Amino acid sequence: MPRVVHFEINAEKPEQLAKFYEQVFNWKFEKWKGPMDYWLIMTGDNESGIDGGLLRREKGTIAVNTISVSLIDDYIEMIKRNKGEIIVPKTPIPGVGWTAQFKDPEGNIFGLMEEDTTVK
């Protein structure tokens, strides 16, 4: 069963916002070595929960929860068939996998992630 596995926080000043979460919740941040400004968020070691990411806010961006799926293309089709809308098409993340974003029939936005470390 697909589960929420990742969250994202958007910020005008990511470095400053990271300090807020470090001081309040003791979360750890690590700058991603990929092609965009992105910080991985570690929210705990052995506790239940999920980790996330922090990125520089662009016009109109919001926080997004991401659902892990086995085959992203299949889920994109199921979303469309069930009156959902793909708002960010299937996109590669090199060394990580494939991602997309959708809006459900009520307007809630979620991400999809298919892990595939061979993606270039």
Same fold yes or no, 1-62 and 69-120: yes
Q: 69: which 2 tokens?
A: 């799926």
Is the model's pTM score more than 0.85?
no
d(CA 16, CA 38): 14
pLDDT range class, residue 57, cuts 50, 70, 90 = confident
d(CA 105, CA 103): 7
Write down the pLDDT at residue 78.
95
Query: Residues 109, 89: contact at Cβ < 8 Å?
Result: no
How many CA within 13 A on the CB side of residue 75? 24
Give CATH for domain 1-62. 3.10.180.10
Domain residue spans in the chain? 1-62, 69-120
- The class that CATH gives domain 69-120 is alpha beta
Average pLDDT, integer, range 84-93: 96
Q: Which runs of consecutive H residues, i.e. helices, occur in 26-88?
A: 72-81
Q: What percent of the chain has pLDDT over 70?
A: 100
Q: Which of 4-8, 25-29, 32-36, 67-71 has the lowest mean pLDDT?
A: 32-36
